[in-house]
Structure 1
Amino acid sequence: MRVIPPAVKEILDKWNIRGLVILSLVFQTFLIFLAPLRKRTSKKLLAKILWTSYLLADWTANYAVAQITKNQGKEPKPDDPPKNKKLLALWAPFLLLHLGGPDTITALALEDNALWARHFFGLVSQALAGVYAVVQSMDNPLWPPIALLFVTAVIKYMERTYALYTASLDKFKDQMLKPADTGPNYAKLMEEYDSRKESNLPTDIVLIDEPDKHDRPPTLKPGPDPLTHLEIVQYGFKFFNTFKGLVVDLIFSFRERDESRDFFKELSPEDALRIIESELGFLYESMYTKTAILHTYAGTVFRIIAFGSLISSFLVFHFRPKKSVEFHGADVVITYTLFVVGIGLEISSLVMFLLSDWMFAASRKLKDDQVKDKGFFRRSTTRLQALFQKKNDKVYIIDTFLNRLLAFRKPRWTMYPCSGNGTHEVLTTPFLLRRWSGTIYGFNFIAYCMKAKVLRIHRRSECVCRSERAWEFVVFVSDWVARRVQVLFEWIKDVDSSVGIFIKRWSKKNKMVYCTVYPLYLVFSSVIPLVFRKLWGYVDRIFSVESFLDEIRFVSSEPMTKKQWEFIFSELKHKSEFAETPECAKKVSSARGEWALHDSKLEEVERLMRYVANVDYDQSLLLWHIATELCFQDEGDEETEKNRSGESCDDREFSKIISDYMMYLLIMQPKLMSEVAGIGNIRFRDTLDEAKRFFKGRHSENLKDMKRGSKMILFVSNDIEPMHVKGDRSKSVLFDASMLAKELMRLDESSSSSSGSHGDGKWRVLSKVWVELLSYAASHCKATEQVAQLSRGGELLNFVWLLMAHFGLADQFQINKGDARAKLVVGE
């Protein structure tokens, strides 16, 4: 008995190699065009497509090479063209070329870089397999194009292997280590010192310190004019080469700290955002693509050789006569497709190479270097001055052209109305021109508990693109289906309970029912659901179905606003003024809200301080998040909106957005928060169960009204602290957060009743505390997780992390002064 029908098996035998080769080419096309999109969005669908294409591309090419090798050992069929097997041997180097992968993706995750040795072994084994496939047809008339293709394939595969090698964390660190500094020659110095002492010469050793930063001229300083698009990329590239050591925990000198901090203090917030944006782009390209190795002299030369070999191989094959007689027509078409599409992909890679930020930054000098050149030529002869003038005009034309190209990638800001009465400038850069996602995600505890929908702060219903509308429709349908399934399960549970009570009563009256129906009911109502629950538990554990559904239903998104970034920038800039020494910098970056509370000049600071100083970080996050939401929902009425100024409206919206964002990081991005999360998941579950019990006790579990639910929580009396009632066994912080919310509400009451000077209102305090909580998480997050997030669209946390480093608010700045140099001084 044959499982596969003979007709189907014949088709599979005839088209298996052809199908695999075409499929390999399709995967390469997907990767080269879709891979650059993953740094612009965090959509799971794109991630799944890339993950599938990345894994299947290597498998398909490997399997196809094995099939070609196997085919070369078979006897040709009578109806095959005379030299068709020779043509199949030409496909082997094509598949090796595909294994080299596109320039836009070498690693799917950081862990892939550590497997560079495996890829090198794969290069050797696949090259040997391809050679073996060709050797089996030694009299192959196509050996010239095969040999040329092998050159291209080996170069491409070596590029991928070397890119993985240089991006592995150990090698990445080795490349940045500076030459060893042994300091002054102690032994020689002491010999001279002893010899002069023996000669009775007054000798002393004097330590000469390096000049202080105030005695040194600034090496980098932005001019009075706004930075051009080209200068943004150039400065981003310069600081990337300096601060990429953050990834591998290298220590920076006081000179690098002062240079970066002094430069960023002079920048506008938008220019700082754009520089960090390009800097993170360079970091992504160095870790996940071939860009870093292609922008070297050797990389460029080898790429020219590879492209020339590919073109030469195509021309040799194209001008070979009698192809339609010697080879199968379909195979000739497939070969032409491999050549044409391969050349097209190489041209696309070349265009991406020439239009990349790396190319613009590496090919042009910074203006400081040009000024130095200009000063040199000014001291030269008149002829050299004329030559320089021509050169200067040419440079100006080139820079103008590059600026116009880079202008397409600048951030776009559009005015959108917010939930208050004001408007905000929102980041709306077109998708294909973005350098990161530009989205701030959020997860709201009260909304999750009540299964309510979180309304957007910025209303974009009239301007939202079709793709976002389609996604919102998918979310709505998924949420509706989930609700209906939940209602169905609750109905089945109620029916099962009623049936169970009836059968139990009946079995007590009838012994026959007790021996027959009752056991069947137990099996049906207990064993079968238990088996399904176990199976569902395994499925959910493997595929994380529930967390995926929760992410679709309850994760909201807000665009970055210009005022919000300006506020974060100004807060960190203010903190950097107190970070003159590494000790002060570490103290400032380790603040979790206490610095903001002291800076607010509040009389009630001590009552609020215990909610940040005497609790763990994860507990503080949950406390302030729930308190912020309670205050936000309490101030949603129109009359309250009218009494608030535009500034306080901004503070209110910013506090809400960052509060939901930090909860999103804590619950939905545990890897990013692994260093500071503590037992945050346990606290979240305990608080969630207490909230559900609270609403269920008031028959409001299906209320889906966040405003009413918040008022119900605030209505509970807090005369006695929850710990004195519940003890420390439960980690719930629901009513502790209610107490904090009431303390915050008193700030506005005391401010309005005070006739003299007073401190900030509650929303100004909340916004400052949330920036501090955000900066604490950014500075304590693992650098490798920060880099890993860049391949998933990037986060606001990445920008805050790098901005803190530029302001000197990082632990890596452990060198406060330069090394003193010893000098032997002989008196008179």
Structure 2
Amino acid sequence: MSDSEANAYGDLLAFWAPFLLLHLGGPDTVTAIALEDNELWGRHLLNLLCQVGAAGYVFYQSFPNSTLIVPTILLFIGGTIKYIERTCALYFASFSKFRRSLLPPADAGPNYAEKMEQIAATGSFHSTVEPPYFLLHDGAEEGQILDDRTVIKEAFFYFTTFKGILVDLIFSHQDRRDSYGFFSVRAAKDAFRVIEAELNFFYDVLYTKAAIVHRPTGYLFRAISFGSIVAAFACFYVLNKHGFHEYDIQITYALLLGALSLEFVALGLLICSDWTIAKIVTSEEHRRSESFIKFLLMVKSESSPFALHMIYARWSRSLFQYNLIEFQLRKWPEWIEKILALISLGEWLEDLKSERVEAYSENLGELIFDELKRKAETSLLEERKQICSARGEWALKNTKTGQDCQNLLPFVRDVDYGKSLLLWHIATELCYNKDESENNHRKFSKVLSDYMLHLMIKEPDLMSVVVGIGQIRFRDTCAELDRFLSQYIFNESNANRTEKYVCKELLSVPTTVTPVDVKGDRSKSVLFDGCILAKELEELQENKWEIVSEVWVELLAHAAINCRPYMHAQQLSKGGELIALVWLLMAHLGLSEQFQIDRGHANTRASQR
């Protein structure tokens, strides 16, 4: 290799170094895979300093005789900005920093000493605290359909107001009044659309660069980095490449074109994001941008020819299903289970075999929304707290049909949540297979029943606060069901091994004496307790499924509002869960204990929407 070729190759090595910074900066759509990644921002900061130092040293070695000095400087600037963006995104999304950024300024309130002096002087006292208020809506028409622009606008407003819910901050009653006023008059479909878009903003803050890029300094630095990369490509393109090896030139063009492609994709996503639309429609000059907003909404729509709507999907709209009886019927033979245990694949294969996915339906959302709205109609604080802690009892005492359900109360009131969930799951399955009526409430009860069992067994972190020993009880129940199947189902010749047949046989077992009186309390199984509940439900006749569905909505709501916000936030990176939407919807309807500030002069604020 000649000296000129050696120098040219050294210049290219210096030019290639900043590409590492570009790629370490990562895409705008992913900065963290899990919330724990945000807590490692310090490690990324150290890595940033090391990588910038290494790239700078390589650059220094080639200075000042390098023929690629200008494009190298430009790439170095662009790559450094990209990596700084990622580090800042991780830092601001870490929960400690996120919480500190949301704390309100210290507020001493009205001057108590001064007020007391006035009272002593005048002998009279007038309270400055406003009396309890009645929940009012914002004047919108009942069931008014929201267009996509309004959905994003309202979602951004409530995201800005309620993002402190992720770190357990409390909100004023004015916040509750405002959100209840908006959601209480919405159709269920539109309410969930707003909630989905709001959760999308939560996801962007915690897992992407959106919160960093969509601010004035973010736009400025993004323009600088984009311009630097484009200019670097232009400089290299017009450069006299005499002395460079053809193969090295091709590699350099591949690197540059790859960087340019990523930048153009990032620019397109930035322009078409919900953040851009929200900032435009909330600005005072948004009327001048009507055509641009319509274009962005068209690009993001499901009928878009650009297919970008897939990138902006709110959540998976899927409900994983896990069924106790189906799980046991499809159990592997014992000899296969022993082999799987040896190769540690048993749990993974069980997941593939036992889980189903049910598509979320608008009718199911309507059932959930109507039930939650019915609970939120009260404005009394103490009653609202009781409703938040209810796990089936309120639904049974306040059924829409007015049915007397006193005989069902022990199955929710006298047992813990985990036992109650498993009891109602078994009873729902037994009644579902016995009754073949075409009833939406029957279908919804089945879907919610299997979904809640999936959460208890496959997402225990989400349910750990409420289910207690739920998994131990589930295993004991599986063992008892397995024994029942072996004795009464599998040993029969040509046995009909369907869920319907098994449910029929279970219901045929006499249950005049409670299982605990027969077996004691060593085993935590609730298999035949569920059979007793199923027989009680059968007495309700035509109102059965409506009542069962109401209980399941309340069981879902109880788990949602008692789950730690951190766990809801973790689920956002996995496509989201229905329970997270229910949690946020409950907060907006005031079904949360995070509204604890008395309303006085210091709290009252006008809506900024």
Fold equivalence (TM over 0.5):
yes
Question: Structure 1 residue 712: deviation in Å?
Answer: 1.2
- Map of 1:292 onto structure 2: 211
Instruction: Report the CA distance shift for 1:218/1:595 in structure 2 as closer, same or farther (over 3 A).
Output: closer
What's 1:441 paired with?
320
Q: Deviation of residue 209 (structure 1)?
A: 2.7
- The answer as to 2:80 corresponding to 1:160 is no
Q: Which amino acid aligns with 2:62?
A: S
More displaced 10-residue stretch of structure 1: 297-306 or 148-157: 148-157
Deviations 1:707-756 (CA, angstroms, capped at 9, x unpaired) = 111111111110110000111111000010011111111221xx6xxxxx
Per-residue deviation, 1:816: 4.1
From the superposition, tell whether residues 803 and 305 of structure 1 become closer, same or farther in structure 2 (CA, over 3 Å): same
**How has the CA–CA distance of structure 1 residues 243 and 222 changed in structure 2, closer, same or farther, with 3 Å as cutoff?**
farther
The answer as to 2:547 corresponding to 1:747 is no
> Normalising by structure 1, what TM-score?
0.68
Residue matched to 2:549: 767
Letter in 2 for 1:440: L
Equivalent residue runs for 1:145-224 within 5 Å: 145-186=71-112, 193=118, 202=122, 206-210=126-130, 213=133, 221=140
Deviation at 1:447, TM superposition (A): 0.4
Which of 111, 118, 140 is the equivalent residue of 2:43? 118
Asked whether 1:662 is paired with 2:424, we answer no
Q: 1:588 aligned to 2:398?
A: no
* AA in 2 matched with 1:168: S
CA distance in 1, matches of 2:246, 2:258: 18
Structure 1 residues 710 and 79, CA gap change in structure 2 (3 angstroms): farther
Structure whose CA Rg is larger: 1
What is the CA deviation profile of residues 65-115 of structure 1, one whole-angstrom value per residue up to 9, with x for unaligned ones?
xxxxxxxxxxx7999654212211111111011111111111111011111
| Contiguous gaps of at least 5 residues in structure 1 | 1-75, 371-390, 411-428, 453-482, 491-528, 752-760, 822-828
Provide the identity percentage: 42
- 1:221 Cα offset (Å): 4.2
- The 1:616–1:298 alpha-carbon spacing in structure 2 relative to 1, beyond 3 Å, is same
Letter matched to residue 25 of structure 2: G
Equivalent residues in 2 for 1:458-469, closer than 5 Å: none
CA RMSD of aligned residues (A): 2.8
Q: Which among 353, 357, 365 is matched to residue 274 of structure 2? A: 357
Shift of 1:133: 2.1
Specify whether residues 157 and 82 from structure 1 end up closer, same or farther in structure 2 by C-alpha distance, changes over 3 A only: closer
The alignment partner of 2:466 has SS state of coil
Partner of 2:606: none
Q: What amino acid does structure 1 have at the position aligned with 2:70?
A: P
Q: Alpha carbons of 1:768 and 1:88: their partners in 2 closer, same or farther (altered >3 Å)?
A: same
2:16 aligned partner, one-letter code: W
- Contact 1:207–1:820 (CA under 8 A) maintained in structure 2: no
Kindly state the Cα deviation for residue 168 of structure 1 after the two structures are TM-superposed: 0.8
Counterpart position of 1:805? 587
CA deviation after TM superposition for structure 1 residue 176, in Å: 1.4
CA shift digits 1:414-458 (9 cap, x unpaired): xxxxxxxxxxxxxxx985563211111100000011118xxxxxx
Give the C-alpha shift of residue 177 in structure 1: 1.4
Secondary structure at the aligned position of 2:321 is classed as strand
Contact 1:148 1:312 in 2 (8 A): yes
Once the two structures are superposed, the pairs formed by residues 329-728 of structure 1 within 5 Å of their partners are 329-365=246-282, 394=288, 396-408=290-302, 431=310, 434-451=313-330, 486=333, 489=336, 536=341, 540=344, 545-578=345-378, 580-600=379-399, 605-636=405-436, 641=437, 649-700=439-490, 704-728=497-521
Q: Secondary structure at the match of 2:229?
A: helix
Give runs of aligned pairs for residues 308-319 of structure 1, distance below 5 A.
Answer: 308-319=227-238
> What code does the residue aligned with 1:789 have?
Q
- Paired residue secondary structure (1:182): coil
**Counterpart amino acid of 1:654?**
F
Q: Distance in 1 between matches of 2:290 and 2:595?
A: 38
- Does the CA-based 8 Å contact 2:391-2:417 persist in structure 1? yes
Q: Give how far 1:326 is off.
A: 2.2
CA distance 1:363–1:597, change in 2 (3 Å) = same
> Contact 1:582–1:811 (CA<8 Å) still a contact in 2?
no
Q: Distance in 2 between matches of 1:656 and 1:344?
A: 47
How far off its partner does 1:151 sit? 0.8
- Where does residue 259 of structure 1 map in the other structure? 178
**Counterpart contact for 2:75–2:229, Cα < 8 Å:** yes
Shift in Å at residue 178 of structure 1? 1.4
How many Å apart are 1:232 and its aligned residue?
Answer: 0.8
Q: Check the 8 A contact 2:171/2:594 in 1, yes or no.
A: yes
Q: Is the 8 A contact 2:427 2:534 kept in 1?
A: yes
Matched, 1:731 2:520: no
Runs (5+) with no aligned partner, structure 2: 604-609
| Mapped partners of 2:557, 2:33: distance in 1 | 28
- Residue in structure 2 matched with residue 507 of structure 1 by the alignment: none
Distance 1:398 1:225, change over 3 A: farther
8 A Cα contact 1:409 1:434, kept in partner: no
**Offset, 1:678:** 0.6
Matches within 5 A, 1:33-112: 81-112=6-37
How far the C-alpha of 1:402 sits from its partner, in A, is: 4.7
Query: Compared with structure 1, are the counterparts of its residues 211 and 319 closer, same or farther at alpha carbon in structure 2 (3 Å cutoff)?
Result: farther
Give the secondary-structure state (helix, strand or coil) at the position aligned to 1:101: coil
Instruction: Report the 3-state secondary structure (helix = DSSP H, G, I; strand = E; otherwise coil) of the residue aligned with 2:319.
Output: strand
Aligned residue in 2 for 1:281: 200
C-alpha spacing 1:489/1:248, structure 2 compared with 1 (3 Å): closer
Residues 696 and 307 (structure 1), Cα distance of their counterparts in 2 relative to 1, 3 Å cut: same
Listed one character per residue, the Cα deviations across residues 371-416 of structure 1 (whole Å, up to 9, x for unaligned) are: xxxxxxxxxxxxxxxxxxxx96x45545544554454389xxxxxx
CA distance in 1, matches of 2:496, 2:2: 74
Measured in 2, the distance between the counterparts of 1:88 and 1:124 equals 20
Report if the CA contact (8 A) 1:409-1:433 is conserved.
no
Aligned counterpart, 2:607: none
Other structure's SS at 1:207 match: coil
C-alpha contact 1:81 1:328 (8 A) present in aligned 2: no
* TM-score normalised according to structure 2 size: 0.91
Deviation string 1:287-334 (CA, Å, 9 cap, x unpaired) is: 10011111100000011011111122222222221x2x4222222111
Quote the Cα distance in structure 2 between the aligned partners of 1:205 and 1:739: 61
Post-superposition shift, 1:225? 4.7
Q: CA deviation at 1:149?
A: 1.1
Q: Give yes or no for the alignment of 1:230 onto 2:149.
A: yes
Supply the distance in 2 between the matched residues of 1:692 and 1:661 (Cα, whole angstroms): 22
